[in-house]
Amino acid sequence: MERLQKAIATSGYTSRRKAEELIVQGKVKVNGEVVNELGYKVKKGDIISIDGKVLENENKVYYLLYKPKGYISSVKDEMGRRCVVDLLKEVKERVYPVGRLDYDTTGVLFLSNDGEFTNLITHPSSHLEKVYEVTLDGLINGEELHQLEKGVYLEGAKTLPCKIRVTGKDMEHKTTILRIKLIEGKNRQVKKMFESIGFRVKRLHRLTVGGIGLKGLKPGEYRILKPQEVKDLRKLALEKKRVGRKNS
C-alpha cells in the first residue's frame, strides 16, 4: 500500500507535488471513482487514471547511455531532431532522460521510467557529483580558474564552489583541456560558466555522474544500471540532500 500521490509520482507521470494538486483538483480516479483525499492509500492492482488517462504500471527500469553528439535529451522533438530514446531500441518500457545534456554534449546520461528516481537525482538540492571534460577555445590562467571555482553569477545566482583540474594545454592551437567537478546542474551550466569569463566551450563530455562512468561503452551504446548502482545513486542523492539542508 502506498499513498496515491506517491504512486502517481513513481509512475513517472509527474512530481509528487503536482500529483497532490491534481488530486485536490479532483482529476484523479482510483478504480473509476474520484479520489480527492491526499492520504488515500492505493493497493497493488488498483487502476489510477488522471483526466481519464490510465497510468501504466510498468516495471521500473534504469539505463546508462553513452550519449553521442547530435541527439536531444528528450522523448520527441518538434523540429524532427533525433532523440536519445531512439537509441534504446530494444527497451520496451517508456523511458525518458534523467536530466539533460545539450545536443552537442556527449557522455553519461541515465534513462528511466521511474519518476521518483528522476526527481530525486535531478532535484536542485541533490548535490550529486558530475564530472565533465571540457575543451576550451583559449588558454585559461590560474586566476580565471580560481574565479570559477569560487563561483560566478549566472542570471543573478551564484554557482556553488566547484573543482577544476587542467589536464592539457595546446599552445599552438590555443586550447585548454580540463576537468570540472560540479555538484549542481543548472541549464547549460558548464558552457555558461566559461562564457561568463569570456571562454567558449568547444567540446563537452560528461565523464561521470555519482561516480558512474562509461567503461566498456561506445557512443550510442547503453547498459542496464545494476540494482546496486541505482541504490547507491539514490543513497548519494539523499545524503547530499540532507547535508544541503543542514548547511542552508
CB nearer to ligand URA: give 29 or 191: 191
| Contact residues: ligand URA, CB under 6 A | 101-102, 105, 188-191, 204
We find the least distance from the C-beta atom of residue 162 to ligand URA, in angstroms, to be 12
| CA gap 142, 214 in Å, rounded | 30
221: left (phi over 0), alpha (psi -120 to 50) or beta: beta
Give the whole-angstrom CA distance, residue 237 versus residue 88: 25
To the query of whether residue 102 is one of the catalytic residues in this protein, the response is: yes
Helix runs in 129-172, H state only: 142-150
Residue (42 or 108) nearer to ligand URA, CB: 108
| Integer Cα distance of 149 and 48 in angstroms | 47
CA pair distance 73, 208, nearest whole angstrom: 17
Judged by beta carbon, residue 181 or residue 188, the one nearer ligand URA is: 188
Residue type, 238: L
Residue 76 Cβ vs ligand URA, minimum distance, rounded to whole Å? 19
The nearest distance, CB 108 to ligand URA, in angstroms, is 10
> Residue 28 or residue 205: which is nearer to ligand URA going by CB?
205
CB of 46 to ligand URA, least distance (A): 39
Assess contact for 56 and 18: CB atoms under 8 A: no
Q: Which of 46, 102, 137, 232 is catalytic?
A: 102
Give the three cell numbers for residue 239: 545524503
Active site residues per annotation: 102
